[in-house]
Amino acid sequence: MATSQELSDFLAEVERRAFKQTAYAVRDDHVALDIVQDAMLKLAQSYGERPVTEYPMLFQRILQNTMRDYWRRQKVRNLWTTLFSSFTSNDDDDEHDPLETLASANQQDSNEPLEQLERSQTIAIIEQALQKLPARQREAFILRYWEDMDVAETAAAMGCSQGSVKTHCSRAVHTLAAMLEKQGVER
């Protein structure tokens, strides 16, 4: 059984990624925070006695289910608002060409304001591209690459076959790369 400290450490490690992942899906920071909070509480309440090694999978399943619950409620509540929000675009069509920014992505300690700005813009482009991905592709990409799960774990978390995970991931990477290229970001 996991201790309170282990739960705290686990949540501290995943909470920011979970928030971002949810925010990409629901496109609303406040709703994303509510969903992440719900998922945290459900994990503690229903699966607190499970070993800490099971937490990543359990948390992802809970998070996905909580997001689905939100979508179901949202669909019933306001279908038109949801449809409208999916057409809104926040593209920054500025002159900046962040080609070199991705190439120097690993230089994290740079203090140059210009580089920081460029990097922020690249991150914003990537985040927008992620938001535009189909939900299952985004889910597969995030679990497989950002949460660093293997194919089997991703399949279990998503409730689909390993073949589907591979297909979703491949399509997601290709779509992201194409979107980034379109925005002038080099792979």
Specify the residue, 46 or 85, whose C-beta has the smaller distance to another protein.
46
Helix (H, G, I), strand (E, B) or coil at 56: helix
45 is an interface residue for another protein by CB under 8 A: yes
The dihedrals phi and psi of 75, each to the nearest 5 degrees, come to -60, -45
> How far apart are alpha carbons 76 and 64 in whole angstroms?
19
Number of residues that bind another protein (CB under 8 A): 46
Residue 78 binds another protein, judged by CB under 8 A: no
CA atoms within 13 A on the CB side of 156: 10
Exposed, middle or buried, 27 (CB in 10 Å: 0-12/13-18/19+)?
Answer: middle
DSSP 54: G
- Decide if residue 104 touches another protein (CB under 8 A): no
53 binds another protein (CB under 8 A): no
Give the binding range for another protein (CB under 8 A) out of 35-43, 70-78, 131-139, 156-164: 35-43
- Nearest distance from residue 29's CB to another protein, in Å? 7
Would you count residue 40 as binding another protein (CB under 8 A)?
A: yes
For position 176 contacting another protein by CB under 8 A, the verdict is yes
